[in-house]
Structure 1
Amino acid sequence: MEFRFFFFLLYPSSGKVYAVGGHDGSEHLGNMEMFDPLTNKWMMKASMNTKRRGIALAALEGPIYAIGGLDDNSCFNDVERYDIESDHWSAVAPMNTPRGGVGSVALGNHVYAVGGNDGVASLSSVERFDPHLNKWTEVREMGQRRAGNGVGELNGCLYVVGGFDDNSPLSSVERFDPRLSRWDYISELTTPRGGVGVATVMGCVFAVGGHNGNIYLNTVEAFDPRMNRWQLVGSVSHCRAGAGVAVCSSHISQIRDVGQGSSNVVDCM
């Protein structure tokens, strides 16, 4: 199962939201747009060097990292770093493994690349990047192979939500504690979600949309670590998978839908 219309959103330390790469239905994209919640406008910024979909984004100590991805021919281990002040992308050390549909998050002093597909099979392997050493290092692998998974950070732990194995969407969720270098399964999603968007806010992990093996989803569920339970909390206006989710510290009245077609609608919750 393949999702071509990937775009990914990020809320980095600058207070802006970024959409990077993806596929517009005709070709792969390397461009980037920035959303300013104060002006409620999108602005074009510098493009990546490699056009691709299925990338992951993470922000660590200021810069934004665009990790992995794929096009119609290859999965990439390429990693690019974007400097917000200079509006410039530059290459950093590549990952040890090509990863399309990879999940990523910044945790502590590292950027993690979780799962993905290397062009042959979904991966359970995980590696992390040290920006001071410009080096990727393998860490303990997950219990489940998965690509198109959502990744978030909460209370010093890394949460990996849903995704696909080689064929089927997953409802399983794993949590990694870097202090113990240990993965644990936690409560499963209420429905399988491949290509799920994930964000953490108000002490909970939110899973948005995805594909359950039969249909695209618009439902949203949240995980409360105190209860170790997922529960449905609402829905977005459009069913979608492979969309990015970002937490933006603005009042919802400041952000309005972009309603010029289903390919670029933005939902706020």
Structure 2
Amino acid sequence: MTAFTKFQKVAVGLGTIGGTWCFMNLFNSDRKVVRNSWTTNYTPLTKWDDNWDHRSPTSLLHPKVIKASDVKSENEMNEALERVTPKVSRHIILIRHGQYNMNGETDNERYLTALGRSQAAYTGKRLQALGFPYTSMVKSTMTRAQETGSIISASLENIPVSNCNLIREGAPIPPEPPVGHWKPEKQQFYQDGARIEAGFREYFYRADASQEKESFTVIVCHANVIRYFVCRALQFPPEAWLRISLNHGSITWITVTPKGRVILRALGDSGHIPADAITY
């Protein structure tokens, strides 16, 4: 067999590359071009909003301070920014309530089942084992969340507990794609959506500059609320919330860093619950 010359090898290589490019170009001719992140012409489909919580250091400075930056020294501007820059992270640990009586017609009748109480106990022990310096617990005012939080509190002693109506279960936003078996009225999305969004703004933000230690807030609420919060925190399309599934008693852990970055450390973790006790 005659060996290829260097020129022939290059020609064959270019021909192969060209043929592949032509094939891929034809194949993708009617498709949206997707560029890899390591190329120089990459543009993200959605850019991260650094001031999503309206607490970025520059946004906290008085406009007169920024306007006078031309006459201020660089050190003075850095000092002004330093005074409003967070130093620590905030951790939000979202807990879905345990299994409850689905046959109940009113909230009071939708109490935890025996299995739901066991799930809550497992979750409380898991949080205790993690050993975080928990700062506070916030519970939805619905019966199943109240009971779940109380059971968890038995494992987390001396942690301040408060109740919140904003994080009650509801319909946050019409899901995409829609589902046929669940179609709340438009006014329910309008009312619940505003309330749940207010709950997001109440608990998701970077630390204040005066906060000296990392905080760990436990929020006991509901699947719809948690799923919406996750999408909002990560700046994903919020209407994607129904594509996420969460087990009863599961743990979702989100960190907001001093720079405002958001890290999803756990999503619906239920590994602490025995397999035969897992429900959703």
Fold shared by both chains (TM-score > 0.5): no
Under TM normalisation by the shorter chain, which class is it?
under 0.3
Q: Give TM-score scaled by structure 2 length.
A: 0.27
Instruction: Answer with 1 or 2: which has the greater Rg.
Output: 2
Q: Which protein is richer in strand relative to its size?
A: 1
TM-score between both structures, scaled by the size of structure 1: 0.27
More helix by share: 2
Higher relative contact order (CA 8 A, sep 6+): 2
